[in-house]
Structure 1
Amino acid sequence: MRALTISLLMLPLALAACDKAATPPVAEETMSALEAPPAIPVMGPERPILAFGDSLLAGYGLNDGESYPDRLEQALRGRGINARVINAGVSGDTTEAGLERLDFTLSSQKEKPELAIISLGGNDMLRGLPPATTRNNLEAILQRLKQENIKVVLLGMLAAPNLGKDYAAKFNPIYAQLAEKYDAALVPFFLQPVIDKPDLMQEDHMHPTALGVDAIVTATVDDVADALPTGAEAEASEAAQGDEKAVPPTASAGEERIAP
């Protein structure tokens, strides 16, 4: 427990230096079971999954192909799921920054994602932003995805102990409460498999190594696979989307419509 506390206490020092302009160290190449040929033939239509979040999804400090979205895609395909995981992680993003770019990210996809994996809030916490702000932004993101009939896996974060019990009491329940409200699948603490395991963490004590990512994927791949919509759910989502497109919004008088 003491080692876990020390690891979490070091999080603010690590992530405070992690912004969009940072030049991360490059992790050594690793081999893992995730790179093995699929045990089950990949079948069925492609299943687009949007991985939307911060540096934990962007692959900070890792080589190409070692990020969580990359490894997750390999793991899902190893189960015969024709997954395509889109990495929309941006290092340093807060929930506010994520909310600001969500619409652009969704509109940029060639095909509507069947599932969105959300990893945001860690930077809010490490900067000491009000938990109410984090909650409001995450809720707006979940509302937007619900409007698009996109299912969600919400990756939870915990407050560092040095922020105090009052802060933790307000921050830590956010993910479970919003997941229940918006019927999202929940991973209570995304970094749980690597905390207190120095060999699975980079030198900044915040971001996982390639082996650490593999451990996280192993712990979460079932949550993602189970959250993918069934055939009936996918058809219902497509039908709802088609109904929305069939009734275009009416421009007000004098308002010029701009094609996307």
Structure 2
Amino acid sequence: MLVLYAGTVFLLQGLTGCSKENNSADRIGSEAPQKKAGATRSLAPQGDTRLVLAFGDSLYAGYGLAPEESFPAQLEQALAARGFAADVRNAGVSGDTTAAAQRRLAFTLEGLERKPDLVMVNLGGNDMLRGIDPAETRRNLVAICEELKSRGIPILLTGMIAASNMGEDYASRFNAIYRDLATQYEATLYPFFLEGVITDRAMMLPDRVHPNAKGIDTIAQNVAPLVVSALQDSAAS
């Protein structure tokens, strides 16, 4: 069973305190370096290497961390430790809502040198903290999945859970989005990106919102087997 957010008030205050509106994307922090298409290279593997795009918000971007401590970089290392060569590109933008991310998706994909073998999607947390109607979040995530499906790109969703003080109705509508999309688009699903980390202060930054390097390592180790399986399935199809 998924754990619920601990310290909900701290979570929402922390996110709100870091977030500001701008014309292209809402920001939670500003630590994520961006290339032309919003996808940064963690390492540069050669040869028969799978290309994975990590498309999301500050949780992928590596807010408060060194580039080598970000989720894409640590996931790449976790895959390498399993003997699986992958180039995991960081296309996380701190503060992105699902609407902002949907607007930049095509540009991000077209900025890559080839079609990725897998796109990982982690979005929705900023929608939730702003109280955006889950129906709108769902529409935007559907549009993202439709874009990836139209390009023949497999999807791995790392989901989010609504904070408990958003209310039962909001939570039930928000939390259902990820499993519904996983079913609809035959996507691999890791139900809650912060599972086993958000409740452990030793794995969180002082803001109690973003994981520290240790927390990201734990998440990368948990997600890596799903990434390997998704890539193997896509290669076999």
Say yes or no: TM over 0.5: yes
Query: Structure 1 residue runs of 4+, over 6 Å off?
Result: none
Instruction: Using the aligned pairs only, state the percent identity.
Output: 49
Residues in 2 aligned to 1:175 and 1:50: alpha-carbon distance in whole angstroms? 18
Do the aligned partners of 1:202 and 1:209 also contact (CA within 8 Å) in 2?
yes
Do the aligned partners of 1:43 and 1:80 also contact (CA within 8 Å) in 2?
no
1:170-181 equivalent positions in 2, closer than 5 A: 170-181=173-184
Report how far residue 21 of structure 1 moved: 7.4
Do the aligned partners of 1:193 and 1:219 also contact (CA within 8 Å) in 2?
no
1:75 equivalent among 64, 74, 78:
78
Residues in 2 aligned to 1:75 and 1:43: alpha-carbon distance in whole angstroms? 17
Letter in 2 for 1:117: M
Report how far residue 18 of structure 1 moved: 3.0
Where do 5+ consecutive residues of structure 1 fail to align? Answer: 25-41, 234-260
Residues in 1 aligned to 2:30 and 2:93: alpha-carbon distance in whole angstroms? 13
Do the aligned partners of 2:204 and 2:215 also contact (CA within 8 Å) in 1?
yes
Query: Does 1:22 find its partner at 2:25?
Result: no
Match of 1:11 in 2: 11
1:1-260 equivalent positions in 2, closer than 5 A: 6-19=6-19, 20=27, 22-23=29-30, 45-228=48-231, 229-233=233-237
Deviations 1:74-132 (A, max 9, x none): 11111121100000000000000000000100100011100000000000001100000
Cα gap change, 1:79 to 1:180, in 2 (>3 Å): same
Deviations 1:18-62 (A, max 9, x none): 3437356xxxxxxxxxxxxxxxxx996110000000000000000
Secondary structure of 1:116 counterpart: strand
Residues in 2 aligned to 1:159 and 1:212: alpha-carbon distance in whole angstroms? 20
Do the aligned partners of 1:70 and 1:85 also contact (CA within 8 Å) in 2?
yes
Cα gap change, 1:223 to 1:5, in 2 (>3 Å): closer
Give the aligned length. 214
Letter in 2 for 1:90: V
TM-score, normalisation: structure 1: 0.78
Do the aligned partners of 2:6 and 2:198 also contact (CA within 8 Å) in 1?
no
Deviations 1:167-200 (A, max 9, x none): 1011111000111000000011110120210010
TM-score, normalisation: structure 2: 0.85
Residues in 1 aligned to 2:212 and 2:16: alpha-carbon distance in whole angstroms? 19
Residues in 2 aligned to 1:121 and 1:21: alpha-carbon distance in whole angstroms? 13
Do the aligned partners of 1:18 and 1:91 also contact (CA within 8 Å) in 2?
no
Residues in 1 aligned to 2:46 and 2:28: alpha-carbon distance in whole angstroms? 40
Do the aligned partners of 1:7 and 1:195 also contact (CA within 8 Å) in 2?
no
Letter in 2 for 1:104: F
Letter in 2 for 1:17: G
Where do 5+ consecutive residues of structure 2 fail to align? Answer: 20-26, 32-44
CA-based RMSD of the aligned residues comes to 1.8
Residues in 1 aligned to 2:4 and 2:111: alpha-carbon distance in whole angstroms? 40
Cα gap change, 1:5 to 1:188, in 2 (>3 Å): closer
